Structure 1
Amino acid sequence: MYGYACEYCEGTVQPRTVKREAFKHRDGFVILEDIVIGVCDNCGNRYYSTDILHAVHAVATGSVSPERTEKIPVAHLKSA
């Protein structure tokens, strides 16, 4: 599944296990933990399998319940 050329540079996409990865979905944000993603060994671009993207969609739309929900701080930056 990995070992292919990065679409942005001359690097190679390698598997990497990450503790937490945040995803923006049209229905909100989802954080997946302890997942394997593809990361370019040169530029660091991240690649996600269809299984991961389907899981994000399922949690965001409510068809799969999350293990827990966390609060996320939100603030506006003041203009100079």
Structure 2
Amino acid sequence: MGAVPAHLDLTPYAGRWVAIVRGRVAGVGLSAEEARRMAKHNRPKEEATVIFVPSNSRAEGPASPRGDEDRASPPAPMDRDP
């Protein structure tokens, strides 16, 4: 997988997974798989680098909130009885 270019500003994607192809954002999602699918749709012949963009913009480089690249989407709200 390729490295993330230093000039690429990912702050608009804080708290989301981002797929990067050739130094450009090719997909974004709430899960790594969602970002990967979007990138594959946009750039079908190329392989994306998928990273998590932390909420605090001071973190640099590929990071994962739990070291778990394929983290599922956030849990659904709990059901309540009417």
Give the TM-score of the pair, scaled to structure 2: 0.25
Give the number of the structure with larger relative contact order, counting CA–CA contacts within 8 Å between residues 6 or more apart. 2
Query: 1 or 2, which has the higher strand percentage?
Result: 1
Q: Could you say which structure has the larger radius of gyration?
A: 1
